[in-house]
Amino acid sequence: MPIKSRPIYPGLKLDQRARRHLVAAEGEGALAVLAIFEGKGDAAASATIVYTPGGSAGEDHAEKLADLKPDALHVMPSQETAIVRLNGLLGNAAMGTRLYAAGVEGFIGKVIASGLEHGVDHQSIYTEHCGSLARRVQCVHCKGMTENVTATPFTCSHCGLNLFVRDHYSRRLAAFQGVVVDCETPGELPEIEELYR
């Protein structure tokens, strides 16, 4: 059953009417970007792409994105630095700019959260989920974020509590909710399930 609070990522498409394309991509998300701009030289020429290779560092995705000849391509070393760059670009974005996001869910979430802070309605952002199903999870107790969670329960990387991942997603935090799993049964942990590879 779908999680009602989790966004739906319908897949990227090119907005032909946009005057500017602001594209944020992570890892395998590059492939989704290539697919919509391939053979669309005019559109690419008005596109700014922020890309962080993540787990796809060994591939040549960045070169292929450069081959699209976008107006600008920013290849960034991490999701955090990509978001800093994106925030800078959003701060100067003009009317007629379409925002795109492609990559792992945690990255899409951060792009949407950045958009929200700059007054971009989340429903107007084109999104595509690519690569791992890993989740970004916020510990409800200490509020710390743990990236790339692939199993439940897992250990909070900040406070060390054993958390299970609740099927509840916050767009503002770009994260699922993690809740302590063994406080009613100290020392007794349910079996760890690899659910989000």
List residues near other proteins by CB under 8 A.
3-6, 116, 123, 138, 140-141, 143, 161, 166-173, 177, 179-180, 183-186
Nearer to other proteins, 7 or 27 (CB): 7
Nearer to other proteins, 64 or 168 (CB): 168
Nearer to other proteins, 89 or 175 (CB): 175
| Residue 48 bridge partners (DSSP) | 22, 72
| Shortest reach from residue 191's CB to other proteins, in Å | 18
| Shortest reach from residue 73's CB to other proteins, in Å | 32
Classify residue 92 by burial, with Cβ atoms within 10 Å: 0-12, 13-18, 19+: exposed
Angle at 12 between CA 127 and CA 96, to 5 degrees: 80
| Shortest reach from residue 25's CB to other proteins, in Å | 25
Nearer to other proteins, 68 or 139 (CB): 139
19, 81, 86, 116, 131 from 111: Cα distances, Å: 20, 12, 8, 9, 16
Nearest to 38 by CA among 73, 71, 69: 69
Mode of pairing for the β-strands spanning 162-170 and 154-155: antiparallel
| Shortest reach from residue 39's CB to other proteins, in Å | 35
| Shortest reach from residue 142's CB to other proteins, in Å | 9
Distance from C-alpha of 16 to C-alpha of 28, rounded to nearest angstrom: 23
Nearer to other proteins, 4 or 197 (CB): 4
